[in-house]
Amino acid sequence: MIKRPKHFALLMLPLLICCRGALLYSEEQPSDAEIRILSEKIEAKYKNSVYTVNAYTKLKGDTDDKQIKNKTRWCRNVGTAFPIDEQGHLITFLCVVKKAEKVVVVSRSGDESHAEIVGTDKTEKIAILKIMKPFLFTPPPISKWNSIHPGNKVILLGVHPENEHLVTQGVISKIHDSDGAVLVSIPGNPGTAGTPVFDSAEKLLGILAFHVKDKFLPEGEISGENNFYVVIPMEYASVIAYSIINNEQTQSGWLGISIPFIEGDNNGDKGVKIQSVAENSPAAQCGLQPHDMIIEYNGFPVSTPKEMITAVASTKSGDTVPIKVIRQDSILQFKATLISRPLSK
pTM to 2 decimal places: 0.71
Of 22, 254, 220, 237, nearest in space to 127 by CA: 237
pLDDT score for 220: 47
pLDDT (tens, 9 = 90+) of the chain, 345 residues, equals 444 443 333 233 233 333 333 334 445 788 889 999 999 999 999 988 999 999 999 876 555 555 555 566 789 899 999 999 888 899 999 999 988 999 999 988 888 999 999 888 876 789 999 998 766 778 899 998 888 899 999 999 998 877 788 999 999 988 875 556 788 999 888 989 999 999 999 999 999 998 887 655 545 455 566 788 989 999 888 878 887 887 665 667 889 888 876 554 444 457 888 988 988 999 999 999 999 999 999 999 998 877 887 788 788 889 999 999 999 989 999 999 998 877 554
CA-to-CA dists, residue 111 to 94, 108, 164, angstroms: 23, 7, 14
pLDDT score for 121: 80
- Phi first, then psi, for residue 242 (nearest 5°) are -65, -30
pLDDT score for 13: 29
Element containing residue 239 per DSSP (H, E): helix 234-250
Nearby residues of 327 by Cβ (< 8 Å), 6 or more positions away: 289, 291, 292, 293
pLDDT score for 21: 34
pLDDT score for 71: 64
pLDDT score for 127: 93
At 304, the amino acid letter reads: T
Do 199 and 172 meet the contact criterion of CB atoms below 8 Å apart?
A: no
